[in-house]
Amino acid sequence: MTQSIKIDPFGFREYDARWIYEKDINEQGITNLGKGLGTQIKQHTKKENPRIIVGHDYRSYSEKIKLALIKGLVSTGCFVEDVGLSLSPMVYFAQFNLDADAVAMVTASHNENGWTGVKMGIKKGLTHAPEEMKELKEITLNQNFTKGKGNEKQIKDFDKVYKEDLISKNKLKKEIKAVVACGNGTAGIFAPDILRGIGCEVIELDCNLDWNFPKYNPNPEDLEMLHAIAKSVKENNADIGFGFDGDGDRVGVIDNEGNEIFSDKIGLLIARNLSNSHKNSKFIVDVKSTGLYSTDKILNKNQCETLYWKTGHSHIKRKVYNEKALAGFEKSGHFFFNQPLGYGYDDGINSAIQVCHLLNNQEKKMSEIMKELPTTYQSPTMAPFCKDEEKYNVVNEMIKEFKKIKDQKIKIDNQEIKEIITVNGVRFSFEDGSWGLIRASSNKPSLVVVTESPTSDERKLNIFKFIDETLMRTGKIGEYDQKI
CB 479 within 8 A of CB 385: yes
Dihedral angle at the C-alpha atoms of 170, 172, 175, 180, nearest 10 degrees? -20
Report pLDDT digits (tens) over 314-350: 889 999 999 999 999 998 889 999 988 899 999 999 9
Residue 49 has what pLDDT? 98
Residue 295: give its domain's CATH number.
3.40.120.10
Percent of the residues in the chain that have a pLDDT greater than 70, as a whole number: 99
> What confidence tier does 309 reach under pLDDT thresholds 50, 70, 90?
very high
Report pLDDT digits (tens) over 36-51: 999 999 999 999 999 9
Residue 15 has what pLDDT? 85
Do 274 and 246 lie in one domain? The reply is no
Q: Which one-letter amino acid corresponds to residue 446?
A: S
Report pLDDT digits (tens) over 248-270: 999 999 999 999 898 899 999 99
Residue 335 phi/psi, 5° resolution? -120, 145
Last residue of a domain, one of 337, 371, 405: 371
Residue 263 has what pLDDT? 86
Do 299 and 277 lie in one domain? The reply is yes
Smallest CA-to-CA distance from 118 within 2, 192, 216, 40 is with 40
Active site residue 351: no
Domain count, the chain: 4
Do 248 and 317 lie in one domain? The reply is no
Strands 417-421 and 426-430: antiparallel
Residue 340 has what pLDDT? 87
Average pLDDT over residues 287-304: 94
- The catalytic residue among 62, 109, 351, 442 is 109
Residue 313 has what pLDDT? 82
Residue 207 lies in a domain: yes
Mean residue pLDDT of the chain comes to 95
Do 244 and 270 lie in one domain? The reply is no
Do 338 and 200 lie in one domain? The reply is no
Do 47 and 136 lie in one domain? The reply is yes
CA distances to 430, 433, 467 from 416, rounded to whole Å, are 6, 11, 15
Average pLDDT over residues 427-449: 93
**Residue 1: pLDDT over 70:** no
**Residue 369: pLDDT over 90:** yes
Residue 2 has what pLDDT? 58
Range of the domain at 270: 261-347+359-371
Last residue of a domain, one of 130, 158, 186: 158
Do 151 and 15 lie in one domain? The reply is yes
Residue 452 lies in a domain: yes
For the whole model, what pTM was predicted? 0.87
Do 22 and 111 lie in one domain? The reply is yes
Residue 396: give its domain's CATH number.
3.30.310.50
Do 23 and 122 lie in one domain? The reply is yes
Residue 302 lies in a domain: yes
Full strand arrangement of the beta sheet holding 17-20: 17-20, 115-121, 102-106, 51-56, 79-85, 151-154
**Residue 414: pLDDT over 80:** yes
Average pLDDT over residues 1-6: 76
Do 251 and 145 lie in one domain? The reply is no
Residue 127 lies in a domain: yes
